[in-house]
Amino acid sequence: LPKSSKTLMKTPTYTNVRRIAPGEYFHNGLRSALMTFLQKSQDDIDLISVQISIDGLPISKSFNSQLWPILGSVRPNFCDIFIIGCYFGPKKPYDCNEFLRDFVTEAKILLTEGLEYKGK
């Protein structure tokens, strides 16, 4: 038997959460989401087009906090929406450049270097 529920559920020991005033940001990653998409796909894909969307939403009226996800979907099917990153805090992020930093850095790398999958 596993020693704990964390072992059983394979809970990661580290999550990529960082402070962005006035809340926190978790970066799941664009590359990892695209790799998951490619592994699930039955098609032979040479080019990937991704649609990105960002919008804030209040969690509830009684609890003063907001969620700002960075979402992606592969075009043209749009059926699998994935989380690239997500901010949570009492207000929207004060600095949008800081909020988008991890995403923009990763997107620039993917645009210049590409993404290799199955030797392609």
Threshold 0.85, pTM exceeds: no
pLDDT of residue 50: 92
pLDDT score at 3: 72
Amino acid at 7: T
87, 23 contact by CB (below 8 A)? yes
pLDDT tens digit at each of 120 positions of the chain: 667 766 766 666 667 799 999 999 999 999 999 998 888 877 777 788 899 999 999 987 788 899 999 999 988 666 789 999 999 999 999 999 999 999 999 999 999 999 887 777
Q: Would you say 66 and 92 are in contact if contact means Cβ atoms under 8 Å apart? A: yes
